[in-house]
Structure 1
Amino acid sequence: MSEAPRRPGRPATGLTPLLNVRVSKAVQDAARARAKQRGERFAEVVTRLLEEYAEQPD
C-alpha cells in the first residue's frame, strides 16, 4: 500500500491546535512588547491567561 499523497503547505509545528482570535492592534502590540520585556513568548502568555481564566470558579 502506498502512502497518502502529501498535502501542500507547512507541516504542523506543535501538538496543540491553532487558535485564531481578533485582537486590536494596540492591545496586541502592547501585550507583545510586555511579553518581550519579560522574556516570555506571546503565545505562552496567551495560553497561560486562557488557562487561568478557564480554571476560575463560576
Structure 2
Amino acid sequence: MLAYWLTRHGFCVTVVERAPTPRKTGGHAVDLVRPAMGISEKMGVLPRIQERAVGTSQ
C-alpha cells in the first residue's frame, strides 16, 4: 500500500520480494474488512477488487 501512495505522489517505487525464490502456493486469500475496505475505496481500487472476488467455502 505504501508503494501505491508513494507512486501517486510522484515517487518512482520498486517493490522487492525478500523470499529467496518465487512462492509456489500461487498466493493467499485476502479478507478485506474495515478499515481495509475504506482504504481500498480511497485508493480507487475497490471496484477492481470486487470484480475479482471469488468467495470461499469450508
Q: Which structure has more helix as a fraction of its residues?
A: 1
Determine which structure has more spread, i.e. the larger CA radius of gyration: 1
TM-score using structure 2 length: 0.26
TM-score using structure 1 length: 0.26
